[in-house]
Structure 1
Amino acid sequence: MKNLTLKNIALTIFAVLALCLGVWTNNQLKFDFITLDEQKHSWSEMQGKWIVVNYFAEWCAPCLREIPELNHFNQLNQADIYMFGMSFDQLERGKLIDLQQKYDIQFPLIQSAVTLPWSQRPTSLPTTFIIGADGEVKKQLKGEQSADKLLKTIRALQSL
């Protein structure tokens, strides 16, 4: 009888530990994208904030011209707006790091994505997606953007 009780206690402890490990593992694997600094993010963790995602490519002259403006926008709005860049060419990590350094990209770059809030890749570059605080795509902007234009667009969308 005593052995049966100890066995039940041991099995219960093992089951609780296995459950805790399962929950922890699930939380660690639950992400929508990884940035170049190897941070895992989910779109849902950013709900309540506005998000700007800019698609670019090295072969796209307007994309390269707008990088200083995107850097400026990111510096001005880090507290209430998230800014990310995403290579249209889906470069591997090493090439993406080289590109970030070569063009002094100062905002986080998405290295790989599992899910995106929009349905398909853009058909032209540069393209910038603005995602509202509710997690929905509010606007898709084509062409070069300035920090001022991005901020004005977001403020206008926020007032709707």
Structure 2
Amino acid sequence: MPLKKIVFLGLLLLAHWAHAGVVLTDIQGRKIAMNDLKGKWVMINYWASWCQPCVDEIQEFNRFYRIEKDRVALFAVNYEGLSVAEQRTLIKQHRIRYPSLQKDPRHALDLGDIRGVPVTFVFNPRGEFLTALYGSQTLDTLREIISRG
């Protein structure tokens, strides 16, 4: 096997296993290991209270989570970097019915720079990063992503 191919495969494996040790913390303080989410689609949605498209898509995510919560781990991340108390207020105000994370996991998950909100990062059931969905999502667009499975 050529050396370039070996190096590429090694980097691919390293990237895949790098997320296995990441532990997320939800707004209630519960720890969620990425490794424990294997077998589920993982979606991390960045939103902001000043972003009308972000607010508009919350109800779509609520519907999606209600229907697909057995197959999908969905997390909201407030892009504004607010305190937990401020986040709780916004979660209640906007009626977010899916888990929210206390802290931004973008560095731990190597998500790179966020060029705008809303954006949803998608990991497949093997824990591999699949895509970043910029712009508002609907129940149909979200279900289409996981149907590719």
Band of TM-score, shorter chain: 0.7 to 0.9
Shift in Å, 1:31: 5.7
SS in structure 1 of the partner of residue 61 of structure 2? helix
Residue 82 of structure 1 corresponds to: 73
In the alignment, is residue 119 of structure 1 matched against residue 111 of structure 2? yes
For the pair 1:62 / 2:53, whether they are aligned, the reply is yes
Q: What does residue 109 of structure 1 align with?
A: 100
Structure 1 unaligned spans of 5+: 1-29
Query: Does residue 12 of structure 2 align to residue 36 of structure 1?
Result: no
List per-residue Cα deviations over 1:90-136 (Å, max 9, x = no partner). Answer: 21100000000000000000002566423324111100011111111
TM-score (structure 2 length as normaliser):
0.80
| TM-score (ref. length: structure 1) | 0.75
The 3-state SS of whatever aligns with 1:152 is helix
Cα shift at 1:75:
0.3
Higher helix share: 1
Identical residues among aligned pairs (%)? 26
Q: Distance in 2 between matches of 1:93 and 1:130?
A: 24
- Give the counterpart letter for 1:153 in structure 2: I
Distance in 1 of aligned mates of 2:84 and 2:113: 19
**Count of matched residue pairs:** 128
* Match for residue 146 of structure 1 among 130, 135, 138: 138
Misfit runs of 4+, over 3 Å: 113-116
**1:45-80 deviations in Å (ceiling 9; x for gaps):** 111111111000001110000000000000001111
- What one-letter code is carried by the residue in structure 2 that aligns with 1:119? L
| Structure 2 runs not aligned, ≥5 long | 1-20
| RMSD of Structure 2 on Structure 1 (CA) | 1.5
Larger Rg: 1
d(CA) in 2 for partners of 1:31, 1:118: 11
Determine the C-alpha separation between the residues in 2 that align with 1:84 and 1:140.
14
